[in-house]
C-alpha cells in the first residue's frame, strides 16, 4: 500500500492460455483488482479462482475440477512459479504470478476507497475473525483518513456443505443477509471450488474468491516461508519443510508429475 488502481477493467475481456488443458487467465494484480471494482459497480457477478501445480494435477485426475476451472470459474489466475515456468517451457506467455495472500492489501484498499464490503468464511472457529480483525486494524493504520474496512461477517468452515442440508442453507442465508460485495472462501482445494459451484446461483453477491489457507496466514496461525523463498519459486520447499507429513505427496510426487506432463506435451508438439 498504497496501490494505484487503473481505469476500470472488464474481466470478461481477459485473455487466457491453455496449459495442459487448463484455462489460465493472463491478468495481473492491477487488472484483477480493477476488474473486481468494475464487476461490483456494474452490478455483475464473477467467481474468481486460481491455479497452481497442485490444481493442474488435480484437474487431470478429477473431471469435475477440470470443468470448474474451465467452465464454472470466470477467472482463473496463475498462483505459482511452477505454473509460470511450465507455460514458458511450452512457449506460452503467462507474465503474472501471485497468490491470494500477496494481493489482499490491494483488495482491502480497493474496499475502503469504494465502500465495498467483504465476508470471510473458512478455517477453524475464531481464526477467520482474527484474520478479519487484523486486516481492519492494518488497513486503518495504512489509510487513517479513509473509512473503516467493512468485513460484514465471518464464519468457520466446519459445517455440513451438502447442498440442501440445513447447516449449509443457514450459512448461505447468513451471507446473503449480510449483503457483502465480496465473499472470500478458504476451505482448501477442491472443497472451496465445489462448494461455490454447488451454491453459486443462491448467492446474492458480486464477487466470490477462493483463498485456500489465506485466513490461517493472515491470522498468524500459519507462517509463510521467508520472502526470499516466496519470491524465487521456493515457497513449495518452505511449506514442505514446515509440514512434511501433509505436503510430501503434493510436492515430492506432484511436482515431478507436473513436470513430466509438461515435457510430454512439449515432445508431442515437436513430433
Residues contacting residue 79 through CB under 8 Å, at least 6 positions apart: 50, 51, 52, 55, 97, 98, 99, 100
Which of 67, 74, 76 shows the shortest CA–CA distance to 96? 76
Contact call for residues 216 and 123 (beta carbons, < 8 A) = yes
Average pLDDT over residues 236-259: 81
Residue 4 clears pLDDT 70, i.e. is over it? no
Task: Express each pLDDT in 49-70 by its tens digit.
Answer: 999 999 999 999 999 999 999 9
Q: How far apart are CA 195 and CA 187, in angstroms?
A: 9
Cis omega (within 30 of 0) on the bond before 159? no
Query: What's the grid cell of residue 73?
Result: 470459474
Query: What's the grid cell of residue 160?
Result: 455440513
Task: Express each pLDDT in 71-112 by its tens digit.
Answer: 999 999 999 889 999 999 999 999 888 887 889 999 999 999
155, 179, 219, 220 from 130: Cα distances, Å: 11, 21, 6, 9
Centroid of chain to Cα 248: 22
The helix or strand, by DSSP H or E, that contains position 183, with its residue range, turns out to be strand 182-186
Query: What's the grid cell of residue 29?
Result: 494484480
Which of 86, 138, 118 shows the shortest CA–CA distance to 254? 86
Mean pLDDT rounded to a whole number for the chain: 92
What is the model's pTM? Answer: 0.92
Q: How far apart are CA 185 and CA 158, in angstroms?
A: 12
What are the φ and ψ backbone dihedral angles of 49, each rounded to 5 degrees?
Answer: -130, -170
Residue 238 clears pLDDT 70, i.e. is over it? no
Task: Express each pLDDT in 120-179 by its tens digit.
Answer: 999 998 999 999 999 999 999 999 999 999 999 999 999 999 999 999 999 999 999 999
What are the φ and ψ backbone dihedral angles of 155, each rounded to 5 degrees?
Answer: -155, 150
The three-state secondary structure class of 75 is strand
For residues 227 and 89, which has the higher predicted lDDT (pLDDT)? 89
Average pLDDT over residues 180-189: 97
* H helix intervals, the chain: 29-41, 53-61, 63-67, 81-89, 100-114, 127-142, 166-178, 191-199, 214-219, 227-230, 235-242, 244-248, 254-270
Q: How far apart are CA 120 and CA 153, in angstroms?
A: 6
Return the C-alpha torsion angle 111, 117, 122, 125, nearest 10: 110
Q: How confident is the model at residue 1 (pLDDT cuts 50, 70, 90)?
A: very low
Residue 243 clears pLDDT 70, i.e. is over it? yes
Predicted local distance difference test score (pLDDT) of residue 270: 73
Q: Which residues pair with 82 in a beta bridge?
A: none
Amino acid at each position: 500500500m498504497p496501490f494505484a488502481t487503473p481505469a476500470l477493467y472488464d474481466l470478461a475481456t481477459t485473455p487466457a492460455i491453455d496449459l495442459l488443458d487448463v484455462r489460465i487467465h493472463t491478468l495481473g494484480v492491477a487488472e484483477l483488482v480493477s476488474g473486481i471494482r468494475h464487476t461490483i459497480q456494474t452490478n455483475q457477478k464473477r467467481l474468481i479462482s486460481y491455479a497452481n501445480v497442485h490444481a493442474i494435477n488435480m484437474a487431470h485426475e478429477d473431471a469435475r475440477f477440470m470443468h470448474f476451472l474451465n467452465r464454472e470459474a470466470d477467472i482463473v489466475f496463475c498462483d505459482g512459479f511452477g505454473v509460470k515456468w511450465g507455460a514458458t517451457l511450452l512457449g506460452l506467455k503467462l507474465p503474472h504470478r501471485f497468490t491470494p495472500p500477496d494481493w489482499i492489501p490491494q483488495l482491502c484498499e480497493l474496499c475502503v476507497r469504494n465502500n465495498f464490503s467483504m465476508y470471510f468464511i473458512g478455517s477453524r472457529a475464531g481464526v477467520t475473525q482474527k484474520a478479519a480483525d487484523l486486516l481492519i486494524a492494518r488497513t486503518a493504520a495504512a489509510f487513517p483518513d479513509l473509512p473503516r474496512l467493512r468485513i460484514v461477517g465471518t464464519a468457520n468452515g466446519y459445517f455440513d456443505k451438502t447442498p440442501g442440508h440445513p447447516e449449509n442453507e443457514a450459512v448461505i442465508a447468513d451471507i446473503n443477509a449480510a449483503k457483502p460485495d465480496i465473499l472470500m472462501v478458504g476451505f482448501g482445494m477442491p472443497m472451496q471450488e465445489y462448494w461455490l459451484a454447488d451454491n453459486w446461483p443462491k448467492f446474492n453477491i458480486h464477487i466470490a474468491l477462493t483463498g485456500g489457507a489465506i485466513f490461517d496466514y493472515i491470522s498468524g496461525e500459519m507462517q509463510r516461508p521467508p520472502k526470499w523463498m516466496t519470491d524465487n519459486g521456493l515457497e513449495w520447499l518452505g511449506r514442505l519443510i514446515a509440514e512434511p507429513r501433509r505436503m510430501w505427496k503434493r510436492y515430492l510426487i506432484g511436482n515431478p508429475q507436473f513436470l513430466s506432463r509438461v515435457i510430454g506435451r512439449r515432445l508431442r508438439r515437436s513430433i
